[in-house]
Amino acid sequence: MKRAVPWLLTFVAGALMINDFFVPHRTHAAITQELQQWGLIVVAFTYVLGMANVFDLHFKKIRRGSSEALYSIVLVGSMLGMAALGIFHDHQGEHSPFIWLYNTVYDPLSATMFALLAFFITSAAYRAFRARSTEAVLLLSAAILVMLGQVPVGAAIWGPDSFLGGFPGLKDWIMDVPNLAGKRAILMGAALGAISTGIRVILGLERAHLGGGK
């Protein structure tokens, strides 16, 4: 029961999904569609599980009265508040408190968090990038050309009407040719890896998600 049932569930669910591609039968399609709905529902339950875990972790911190307790109160309070507003009130209306909080708190915070990375990426690049080898020179040149091709100052120095389309043209060429070649190779390698891992999981050769072991 402890090992056989999970493996059987993995195998049946995986095999049915693969089969669905090859068996164009209405009943089969209906079963896989129903199972996919089940999958969506179970994944949605994991959010609630995550919330319970976060709540448990931070509630312990608050109870201990540690120096970080205030932050935990803010985290738990905002999580419960936002979830309650979204669940018990309108979650789509332009004037709903849920959307108001999204626009006022979530949106600026997430944008600023990612904007903050601009400073750290730049400073890390300044410290780490050294043109010591051919590979490093290629990496640096591609990065600089793409950046120059993206900004107006690049077009002002070497405009799109000049030879090779200037910095914007060169950027487009780098993105569409050598970058695409490398990206495609990575994508195809990753696809092969994902396919083989998927088959190993379905066949029960890979059981890390079940806590490992035989």
Partner 1 sequence: MDALQLWISTALTLCILSFLWKDNPLYKLAEHLFVGISAGYYIALAWQETIRPNLVEEVARGNWIRLGAAILGVLMFTRFVPKISWLSRWPLAFVVGMYAGINVIAFASGDLILQLQSTMVDVVHDGWTAVSNVILVIGLATSLIYFYFSKEQKGALGVVSRIGIFFLMISFGASFGYTVMSRMSLAIGRTRELMVSPATTGILLLAVAVFLFVWGRRQRSTGEGA
Q: Which of residues 57-76 bind partner 1 (CB under 8 A)?
A: 70-72, 74-76
41 vs 78: CA distance, rounded Å: 24
**Counting contacts by CB under 8 A, is residue 153 touching partner 1?**
no
CB neighbour list of residue 90: distance below 8 Å, 6 or more residues apart:
96, 98
27 binds partner 1 (CB under 8 A): no
For the chain, the residue count is: 214
Q: Is 131 in the site for partner 1 (CB under 8 A)?
A: no
25 binds partner 1 (CB under 8 A): no
122 lies in the site for partner 1, by CB under 8 A:
yes
CB 167 within 8 A of CB 145: yes
Taking CB under 8 A as the criterion, the residue among 27, 134, 161, 163 binding partner 1 is 134
| Three-state SS at 140 | helix
Q: How far is the CB of 159 from partner 1 (least distance, A)?
A: 18
The CB-side HSE value for 33 (13 A sphere, CA atoms) comes to 7
| From candidates 29, 57, 139, 157, binder to partner 1 by CB under 8 A | 139
184 interacts with partner 1 by CB under 8 A: yes
| Of 187, 193, 203, nearest in space to 13 by CA | 203
In the complex with partner 1, the residue whose CB is nearer, 159 or 188, is 188
| Least Cβ distance, residue 111 to partner 1 (angstroms) | 5
Other Cβ atoms closer than 10 A to 208: 8
Residue 140: exposure state from Cβ atoms within 10 A (0-12, 13-18, ≥19): middle
195 binds partner 1 (CB under 8 A): yes
Which member of 127, 177, 212, 214 binds partner 1 (CB under 8 A)?
Answer: 177
Q: Is 185 in the site for partner 1 (CB under 8 A)?
A: yes
By CB under 8 A, the count of residues binding partner 1 is 123
